[in-house]
Amino acid sequence: MGPSRPNIVLLMCHDLGRYLGCYGADIETPRIDALADSGVCFENHFVTAPQCSPSRGSFVTGRYPHVNGLMGLAHGNWELHEDERILPQYLDDVGYETHLFGLQHITQDTDRLGYDYVHSEGNLYPGVSPEVHQANRARNVASVLSGFLERKAFQSPFFASVGFFELHRVEEETGRFGFDNDHYETADPDEVRPPSYLPDRRGIRQDLAEMHGMVHALDDAVGTIIDALEAAGLDEETMVIFTTEHGIAFPRAKGSCYDAGIEAALLLRCPGVADDGTRYDELLSNVDILPTILDLVDADSERPDDLDGRSALGLLTGGEYDPRTQLFAEMTWHDMYNPVRAIRTERYKYIRSFWHLPKVYLTKDIFASEAGRTVRETDGIPQRPYEELYDLHETPQEDDNVVFEPTYQDVRTDLSRRLYEWMSDTDDPLLEGPVPPGDYDEITSWAHEDG
């Protein structure tokens, strides 16, 4: 067993999914792959929401978005409930010094997060200004953190949340959303292989080629941080977690509850606990990470009884572990109303939509991209069915909806019941009707009544 109170370095990026070499993607990521080899890799880690703030909120609270209140983007006037406690606060209670480097996307009020030290400005949203882009690019954030480690400017044990700008799309002067190829080296589109759920078209390849530059910058930054930990003599007393909040910013991924939208990398290295290169294929949700960390640092007395997540520490140590047979995902508000709930088991995915929606929801940054332009007519116009059921063993790319096929009716009924019971047990407001947006008070106010 490793140190009882290891330092914790949490590395979190945007819009990555599992687009890494260690997950079989068509890209070289040697430093991140090395982290997987020296730690552990979770091959079936999924998030609660295919969008930034709600997913990140689940990670730091151990609760689903509709439970903790963060059902839309933080800069879209959605916030965690006032009494919601988050990871840095739990760690502070057991003696950790807490630090924020780079971006976060959980709240507009950084003070709400309760960090002892904040080493970044403009840390909410990656799309606000070129200055914020520059300061929060992975290589720059890694440089700041490396200096912090070199100077030993901390008290042990410490928790450092490290947020990178990459792989977020950037709006160009033309209105197109790309991957900022002025700052990153673009790959050759002819050498890029699109994932199986995307059509092999020029616009898809072009965007993926641009995205490769951001992935390489992210890989370099992770390597810089790992090297800095070793140089400071901290590698044997520090847990490193690398993850992201949802799938890549492409059609059928970010913004959708298909696997490509809710899949997320999760690598963990902790000396004496997770350090032998094991690859776990058990289902894991990002609500499980907070209780796992609390168990690992022996903060069980601080953990409330009503977390939605369950600890996976036993999986790592060979102790008692209750494996998941199902996990849940949701979406309510992004840049439009998109109410969806989903349940996934090892074999099946059942998705329930609650509004008149296009076949595939394209977030603003995807809609205005080369990749989005490629699929607008086929994916952005036809109406989505209210129910979708996919046999992931037969069609892992989720392109054959079998919800009305006779042989799947028992599965459909069972998963429908389980999804409804989860929504009911967790007091999902969607069961009561449409959920108003975060700025509902502003929408419903009248100037003549405010005077």
Give me the mean pLDDT over the 20-39 stretch: 97
Backbone angles phi and psi of 249, in degrees to 5: -80, 70
Give the range among 124-128, 219-223, 333-337 with minimum mean pLDDT.
124-128
Q: Is the pLDDT at 102 greater than 70, yes or no? A: yes
Q: Shortest CA distance to 140 belongs to which of 242, 235, 218?
A: 218
In this predicted structure, what is the pLDDT of residue 123?
A: 66
Model confidence band, residue 333 (pLDDT cutoffs 50, 70, 90) = very high
116 and 91 Cβ atoms separated by less than 8 Å? no
Cα–Cα distance measured from residue 387 to residue 384, given in angstroms and rounded to the nearest whole number: 8
249 and 15 Cβ atoms separated by less than 8 Å? yes
301 and 70 Cβ atoms separated by less than 8 Å? no
What number of helices (H) and strands (E) belong to the chain? 15, 16
Q: Shortest CA distance to 9 belongs to which of 166, 220, 216, 227?
A: 227
Cα–Cα distance measured from residue 35 to residue 37, given in angstroms and rounded to the nearest whole number: 5
**Per-residue pLDDT tens digits for 188-236:** 999 999 999 999 999 999 999 999 999 999 999 999 999 999 999 999 9
Give me the mean pLDDT over the 313-324 stretch: 95
Rounded mean pLDDT of the chain?
Answer: 94
Q: Shortest CA distance to 7 belongs to which of 226, 232, 158, 155?
A: 158
In order of 194, 375, 440, the CA distances from 250 in angstroms are 11, 10, 29
Only one residue has tokens 């894991």, namely 284
Tokens of 215: 């992935």
Model confidence band, residue 377 (pLDDT cutoffs 50, 70, 90) = confident
7-317 CATH choice from 3.40.720.10, 3.40.640.10, 3.30.70.2190, 3.40.50.1970: 3.40.720.10
327-441 CATH fold: Arylsulfatase, C-terminal domain (3.30.1120)
Q: Where are the alpha helices (DSSP H) in 246-355?
A: 259-262, 289-296, 313-317
Give the range among 5-9, 98-102, 303-307, 371-375 with minimum mean pLDDT.
303-307
Where in the sequence of the chain do the CATH 3.30.1120.10 domains occur? 327-441
Where in the sequence of the chain do the CATH 3.40.720.10 domains occur? 7-317
Tokens of 74: 């933080």
In terms of phi and psi (left: phi > 0; alpha: psi -120 to 50; beta: otherwise), the region of 2 is beta
